[in-house]
Structure 1
């Protein structure tokens, strides 16, 4: 893994091949979400991931946040690393929406949305903050907590329903990368205000996301997890939400990656092998 900073954005490159994938993480994640995928790519490929502003080692970059701002950052990173029209753009969770916005602004060889990217309706009777609390409750709560040690933070994640029964060195590295602060009062690097602003944008700008999906000129692929953020049986993008978009976007390739949840789709070796293949196959 090679690390550098681009205008305050921390980026990491996994692999040494000349062909490039630009990868965008989720709303409370970091570039380390992509380490397992980067390691399983063919030798001719490299994966470039960044910490979005307000996350990881880009946490000190100021707002405003919002998915438009992240898309601008993604395109700036793509230009910096020389990702031309033969590069692949991908995003997981919120990163899928950012990838759709960025992919609508310039051409890539392929845009791959991983368990994200399709507009999410705001539930009836809920405002955006209530909707975020209902879906991201444990993740949002974590941002306000402090932990006495690194091991305590690891234990917090080991007990997370998405990782219960599944653990790996990749998950441990992902978790530890997120920690900052003094011993005895460690906390997540994620800026809570960034998550709140981004979550509101995501829920209130569904029409903008739909317009971006229609404007993407590259082949568009969707990979879905059958289980959700808390390993519940209903995933983030269930069939009833996905079906109307498959009708509107007949060129969209849709695939459910079996036996994974919203998190393990990027960490479980079997699922990651599928993701790596779908990113580059046929290119």
Structure 2
């Protein structure tokens, strides 16, 4: 028997409707149902978390499709971390009971989660908004990324101030996302052709499991000529890629959350060993991760060996690590209600 009942809904946000998947637990203890909001990456969708959902029995999972993606693909600008955070907040308010919600973000979703976590960080002590969120649990994302090497020089550090850098959005996308960005301009003659594309991807050399395959199929949008294309808006990807580096809302929230030792201690950062094409080092090189350990000593950093940027939320080892991190946050937030 499944651990959750799944349904998909639409909620009104600026410019239209946001699609939201909700997994309700089929069994849970007395009192408030612990709730998690999962936030996907820049070219992904909420179904990418289905494996993690199965590892969280008794927990409500809210998973929006961010604007410009999947079933929310018709939602246009504004894009950027603040716009996504406000959309996610609308989804949380629609489906979560009053009380704390644990934020979980993978890849760009970590930046959205951090932005949302910081929106209430400056509230007056005791204000409900200040304690609305727990975490975030950041899965190979959500902390400042290294500036990509676009001129042949090795630069693995994430500088505190990017205002003096001449960052070209196209260079950022090519260096960080690579084939993931190229895929958005491609057409596919069938669903099977699209799945074959991923089966040949170096990040999925062990094959596509059911969760990955269903997420990729859900991602496809039909065209008038009966072919298919990935649903993510190129405009959304370009705007969001730049905003992850230079967005004021994200930077302000990062400072708010990490500037408080209590809030910092609630952040868990899970790091994949390999990057988007399963090469080493990962998206966050070891030297950079070590610098974050020293800079934010109260933050929990979890290395997840043997995983790449994608299968950290798909493989058994990755799901186990992510689920454990989430359960720890839920235990703190709900006073041991899951024990």
Q: TM-score, normalised to structure 1's length?
A: 0.93
Query: CA 1:212–1:192 in 2, change beyond 3 Å: closer, same or farther?
Result: farther
2:258 paired residue among 182, 192, 214: 214
Query: CA 1:128–1:212 in 2, change beyond 3 Å: closer, same or farther?
Result: farther
CA-CA distance at 1:65 after TM superposition = 0.3
CA-CA distance at 1:112 after TM superposition = 0.5
> 2:121 aligned with 1:116, yes or no?
no
CA-CA distance at 1:215 after TM superposition = 5.2
- Distance of 1:97 and 1:200 partners within structure 2: 12
Q: TM-score, normalised to structure 2's length?
A: 0.78
2:205 alignment partner in structure 1: 164
The Cα offsets for residues 71-128 of structure 1, whole Å up to 9 and x where unpaired, read as: 1111111111125443211100000011011011233233200000111243465523
| Aligned pairs, number | 282
1:92-111 matched pairs, under 5 angstroms: 92-106=106-120, 107=131, 108-111=133-136
The DSSP-based 3-state class of the residue aligned with 1:90 is strand
1:24 alignment partner in structure 2: 39
- Distance of 1:83 and 1:238 partners within structure 2: 39
The DSSP-based 3-state class of the residue aligned with 2:203 is coil
1:10 alignment partner in structure 2: 19
Question: Mean Cα displacement is larger for which, 108-117 or 46-55?
Answer: 108-117
Q: Is the 8 A contact 2:66 2:84 kept in 1?
A: yes
The Cα offsets for residues 215-261 of structure 1, whole Å up to 9 and x where unpaired, read as: 57641111111111000011111221122222222211000112111
Computing the radius of gyration from Cα coordinates, the structure with the larger value is 2
Structure 2: which 5+ residue stretches go unaligned? 1-5, 121-130, 152-166, 333-339
- Distance of 1:175 and 1:100 partners within structure 2: 26
Q: Is the 8 A contact 2:146 2:284 kept in 1?
A: no
1:177 paired residue among 214, 218, 222: 218
1:197 alignment partner in structure 2: 239
Query: CA 1:232–1:110 in 2, change beyond 3 Å: closer, same or farther?
Result: same
Query: CA 1:84–1:96 in 2, change beyond 3 Å: closer, same or farther?
Result: farther
Q: Is the 8 A contact 1:15 1:38 kept in 2?
A: no
- Distance of 1:67 and 1:36 partners within structure 2: 25
CA-CA distance at 1:131 after TM superposition = 2.1
- CA RMSD in angstroms comes to 1.9
The DSSP-based 3-state class of the residue aligned with 2:185 is coil
1:148 paired residue among 189, 208, 213: 189
- Distance of 1:56 and 1:222 partners within structure 2: 26
- Distance of 1:199 and 1:84 partners within structure 2: 33
CA-CA distance at 1:184 after TM superposition = 4.1
